[in-house]
Amino acid sequence: MKQNSKLSKIGQSLKANRKKIIVVCTMVALLIGTGCLNYFLNVKTSGNNNDDVVQEQEQSFFETYRTDRESTRNQEIAYLDEIIASASSTETAILDAESQKLNITSSMETELVLEGLIKAKGFEDCIVTMSTENVNIVVMDEDLTLEEAAQILNIVETETTFTAPDVVIIPYV
């Protein structure tokens, strides 16, 4: 008798689990179907736009870099402002923080001017970063010629105190 009741309970349990299994399998099948449909629709719509995708990636690089640079600088300036405003900061620390803040601001202005002048020479986009030792320039141009590099170098030498050995020009492909 006990075996029959156990078998009966197992049979009922299988029936209840069978419904759950069917529901889960149906949901998995729907999920797979949705994923496949999404994939095929994306391939169909983006299949003809490879040039647009490449251009978006290039723009995305420059936009992302600018956003990251701005965010980092804002954080640096906030730290310097905290040092300047802190009652526990020494006079030397405050003067140093103010000096660093002025240097960052000056670099930001110079980089903006250089980027504008380089774009005015016909380059689609560029990024300029300056340190105390050098200037790095990333230009959106996969076929950068020596003449174009000389134009960029001339702009940097005219607007800053940096010379040719201090300037790094990188074509972005």
Q: Which residues contact 115 (CB under 8 A, 6 or more apart)?
A: 126, 127, 128
Structure tokens at 165: 């050995």
Position 26 scores a pLDDT of 64
Q: Where residue 41 falls among pLDDT bands split at 50, 70, 90?
A: confident
Count CB atoms within 10 A of the CB of residue 159.
Answer: 14
Lowest-pLDDT choice from 18-27, 67-76, 82-91, 99-108? 18-27
- 108: pLDDT strictly greater than 60: yes
Mean pLDDT of 49-74: 77
- DSSP letter (8 states) at residue 101: H
Q: What is the mean pLDDT of the chain?
A: 83
Q: What is the average pLDDT across 112-140?
A: 94
Sequence spans of domains, the chain: 1-48, 49-172
CB-CB contact of 160 with 135 (8 Å): yes
How would residue 51 be classed by pLDDT, with cut points 50, 70 and 90? low
> What's the predicted TM-score (pTM) here?
0.64
The residue length of the chain stands at 173
The distance in angstroms from the start CA to the end CA of the chain is 80
pLDDT of residue 122: 92
For domain 49-172, which CATH number applies: 2.40.50.100, 1.10.287.4300, 1.10.1740.10, 1.10.40.50? 1.10.287.4300
Instruction: Report residue 171: phi and psi, to 5°.
Output: -75, 135
Could you tell me the pLDDT band of residue 16, with boundaries at 50, 70 and 90? low
pLDDT-based confidence at 60, cuts 50/70/90?
confident
> Looking at the predicted structure, is the pLDDT value of residue 57 above 60?
no
